[in-house]
Structure 1
Amino acid sequence: MKLYFSFFILLLFSLSTYGQIDSKRKSIAIPAVKSKDSVDASPLLPSRPINNNTSINNINTPKVSKNLDMPKKEFSMFPTEEFGNPGELYHKRLNKSLDHLKLSKEELELKNGSTTDQYFGDFKSKAKFVNVVYRDHGYVDGDIIQVLVNDDVIHARVFLTGGFKGFKLDLQPGFNKIDFLALNQGESGPNTAEFRVVDDQGSLISSNRWNLSTGVKATIIVVKE
Structure 2
Amino acid sequence: MHAQLDSKSKSIAIPVVKSKDDTADSKKIDPLTPKTENNQTFGSLNVPDLTTGVETPKKQFSLFGEEFGNPGELYKKQLDKNLENVKLSPEEVEQRNGSKTNQYLGDFKTKAESVNIVYRDHGAVDGDLIQVLVNDDVVQARVFLNSGFSGFKLSLQKGFNKIDFLALNQGESGPNTAEFKVVDDMGNLISRNQWNLATGVKATIIVVKE
> TM-score if structure 1 supplies the norm length?
0.62
Please state if 1:94 is matched with 2:84.
Answer: no
- Seen in structure 2, the aligned counterparts of structure 1 residues 167 and 72 have a Cα distance that, compared at 3 Å, is closer
Please state if 1:198 is matched with 2:191.
Answer: no
Q: CA deviation at 1:104?
A: 1.0
Structure 2 counterparts to residues 9-158 of structure 1, below 5 A: 70-71=62-63, 74-76=66-68, 79=70, 81=72, 83=74, 89-97=76-84, 99=86, 102-158=87-143
- Seen in structure 2, the aligned counterparts of structure 1 residues 170 and 82 have a Cα distance that, compared at 3 Å, is closer
Determine helix, strand or coil for the equivalent of 1:108.
helix
- Seen in structure 2, the aligned counterparts of structure 1 residues 81 and 200 have a Cα distance that, compared at 3 Å, is closer
Query: After the TM superposition, which segments of 4 or more aligned residues of structure 1 sit over 3 Å from their partners?
Result: 78-83, 88-91
Question: Structure 2: where are the runs of 5+ without partners?
Answer: 1-60
Question: Structure 1: where are the runs of 5+ without partners?
Answer: 1-68
Q: CA deviation at 1:91?
A: 3.9
Q: How far apart are the structure 1 equivalents of 2:207 and 2:72?
A: 58
Aligned AA for 1:96? L
Q: CA deviation at 1:199?
A: 0.3
Q: How far apart are the structure 1 equivalents of 2:79 and 2:160?
A: 52
Q: CA deviation at 1:122?
A: 0.2
Q: Which has the larger radius of gyration?
A: 1
Q: Which has the higher strand share?
A: 2
Aligned AA for 1:93? D
Alignment-derived partner of residue 204 in structure 2: 219
Q: How much identity, in percent, do the aligned residues show?
A: 67
Q: How far apart are the structure 2 equivalents of 1:214 and 1:139?
A: 17
Q: How far apart are the structure 2 equivalents of 1:200 and 1:222?
A: 13
Q: CA deviation at 1:94?
A: 3.2
Instruction: Deviation per CA, 1:59-91: give whole Å up to 9, x if none.
Output: xxxxxxxxxx93189325x635464xxxx6434
Aligned AA for 1:135? R
Q: CA deviation at 1:109?
A: 0.7
- Seen in structure 2, the aligned counterparts of structure 1 residues 178 and 81 have a Cα distance that, compared at 3 Å, is closer
Alignment-derived partner of residue 167 in structure 2: 182
Q: How far apart are the structure 2 equivalents of 1:82 and 1:103?
A: 26
Q: How far apart are the structure 1 equivalents of 2:147 and 2:188?
A: 22
- Seen in structure 2, the aligned counterparts of structure 1 residues 81 and 129 have a Cα distance that, compared at 3 Å, is closer
Determine helix, strand or coil for the equivalent of 1:95.
helix
Determine helix, strand or coil for the equivalent of 1:74.
coil
- Seen in structure 2, the aligned counterparts of structure 1 residues 184 and 82 have a Cα distance that, compared at 3 Å, is closer
Q: CA deviation at 1:208?
A: 0.2
- Seen in structure 2, the aligned counterparts of structure 1 residues 79 and 196 have a Cα distance that, compared at 3 Å, is same
- Seen in structure 2, the aligned counterparts of structure 1 residues 79 and 130 have a Cα distance that, compared at 3 Å, is same
> TM-score if structure 2 supplies the norm length?
0.66
